[in-house]
Chains A and B, each alone.
Chain A
């Protein structure tokens, strides 16, 4: 059985934030919530690195481990989803997640934040596939449509990969073998000189 994974090729990501925008648009994500974010390390310095982050759909998900109402479930293709009908907005998953994936529509204390929202790997939720109820709560179900998450599909530099973990790992290995160490991008050494430490 294929296991769904995200893989961000940090050597290719140019911090354009198109994945963030596409995700918000595709799923009608409310103000204040970003299911995906681009994090930049050493911003503005030679050799800076950007990486697009969202829910990593962990195998042994810490959010699911701490949820007091057990609203998380993992699908057969290893996507971690949750039920907004059961969520009580306690915020435990937010503290447990190492990637900052779970987010809430309102700022508040225990229970007043509203239902938790996170990346669904474009796989909807417990409601019937591609139904109106599913779209309103979780956004579009592209996986059921035979597609992959939009963030990865529209990435202009093809930095963000999504799909079967074995296949995208093979694609990444292929890239590393081809380009060698560093980005291999055209003009890299002209811009940053030979001496730049990567």
Chain B
């Protein structure tokens, strides 16, 4: 192995070691790691049905059907 190759390997090992240590430190210090992920839970108010068969909606159904033309 040439001298230049050896230097390159050392540099890579150094970065790998630094990377490993810093990741472990961040994981230990981070509050995120301690808590579990929670999915978004929309409340009942958000998911309630808003559709109502009002006179306005009934008029839409009536004017779109052929039955209207017969009357």
- CB proximity of A53 to chain B, nearest CB, Å: 19
- Tell me, in angstroms, the Cα distance from A174 to B61 when the chains sit together: 12
- Whether the Cβ atoms of A171 and B50 lie closer than 8 Å is no
- CB proximity of A89 to chain B, nearest CB, Å: 16
Contact stretch, chosen from A20-28, A32-40, A66-74: A66-74
- Tell me, in angstroms, the Cα distance from A86 to B65 when the chains sit together: 41
Kindly list chain A residues whose C-beta atoms are within 8 Å of the C-beta of B57.
146-148, 163
Q: Which of B39, B51, B60, B66 interacts with A143 by CB under 8 Å?
A: B51
- Whether the Cβ atoms of B48 and A163 lie closer than 8 Å is no
Query: A86-117: contact bitstring with B at CB < 8 Å (1 yes, 0 no)?
Result: 10000000000000000000000000000000
Chain B residues touching A, range: 20 to 34
Q: Which of B40, B46, B49, B64 interacts with A86 by CB under 8 Å?
A: B40
Q: Which of B46, B60, B66 interacts with A178 by CB under 8 Å?
A: B66
Kindly list chain B residues whose C-beta atoms are within 8 Å of the C-beta of A170.
65
Indicate whether A174 sits within 8 Å of B47 (C-beta atoms), given known contacts A69-B40, A83-B40, A86-B40: no
Kindly list chain A residues whose C-beta atoms are within 8 Å of the C-beta of B67.
174
Interface of B with A (CB < 8 Å)? 39-40, 42, 46-54, 56-57, 60-61, 63-67
Report, nearest first, the 4 A-B pairs whose CB atoms are least far apart: A146-B54, A76-B49, A77-B49, A143-B50
Interface of A with B (CB < 8 Å)? 1-2, 4, 69-71, 73-77, 79, 81, 83, 86, 123, 126, 129, 141, 143-144, 146-148, 152-153, 158, 161, 163-164, 167-168, 170-171, 174-175, 178
